[in-house]
Amino acid sequence: MTKEKIAIVKIGGNIIEDEVVLKQFLQSFSKLEGKKILIHGGGKRATQFASKLGIASKMVDGRRITDKETLEVITMVYGGLVNKKIVAQLQANNTDAIGLTGADINSIQSEKRPVKEIDFGFVGDVTQVNHHGIDTLMTAGFTPVFCALTHDGNGQLLNTNADTIASQIAIGMSEIYATSLYYCFELKGVLNDIKDKESVIQKINSKTYQELLAAGTISAGMLPKLENCFDALQKGVQEVLIGNTTLLSKENNLHTKITL
């Protein structure tokens, strides 16, 4: 029996910050046929609001240290401002969207990241995705829009990497659907030369990934994204693509495809 298709789409922070690009992206997302789920972060906006409130943002290797005050800001920005603006724009494009955190319908549980060399604070690592609950929403005709917040099952919200949420949702939904995972950001794909925006590496498999790592071609920011890509493919996701906002259009032919 052939599985029904589903698209899991994650958008990067630079798209969220550009109102024109975001509007165009959401129009493209709305035109996607079949079932779909959108995942977003909002780190840059959270940093801006934290600054206005006199809360310093602490980052280690591009990852946010999330203390109690920062978690409150992130909850307001991710779960409120950014999420609801996206949901409202999707409604304007005739997509009946519903904004969610991982706490809603117990959709994504995490555990607080253990303290090793660094204490990241209220940061979660995903342990469980309630794919049946998410599917119930979609079967009812809603399009889920997840922000980068999960929960631990004991009343604690946790800041969670949006790329990881996307891959974990894709893995969960692959038990029901033939799942495609799309990472959309400001670049056309993974670049061979960061200074040349056209130098897109069109295919990366496990072997070429190791070669790119050895050559230092892949930068620190791209490492966790690609690790999530391979993890998703190893656990049942059928297709993983990385590219810019045109990735969702049928005309797009320049992007990075990840394979095992």
Listed by start position, the domains of the chain span 5-258
Weakly modelled stretches of the chain, pLDDT under 50: none
CATH architecture type of domain 5-258: 3-Layer(aba) Sandwich (3.40)
DSSP state for residue 2 in the 8-state scheme: P
List own/partner pairs for 20-28 with CB under 8 A and 24 or more apart: 21/186, 21/245, 22/86, 22/89, 23/89, 24/245, 25/184, 25/245, 25/248, 26/86, 26/89, 26/90, 26/93, 27/93, 28/245, 28/246, 28/248, 28/249
How far apart, in whole angstroms, are the C-alpha atoms of residue 116 and residue 125? 14
pLDDT at 59: 83
Q: What is the DSSP string of 69-127?
A: HHHHHHIIIIIIIIHHHHHHHHHHTT--EEEE-TTGGG-EEEEEPPPSSS--BSBEEEE
pLDDT at 88: 98
Distances, alpha carbon 248 to alpha carbons 44, 145, 147, 159, in Å: 24, 16, 20, 27
DSSP state for residue 141 in the 8-state scheme: T
Strand partners, 150: 158
pLDDT at 236: 96
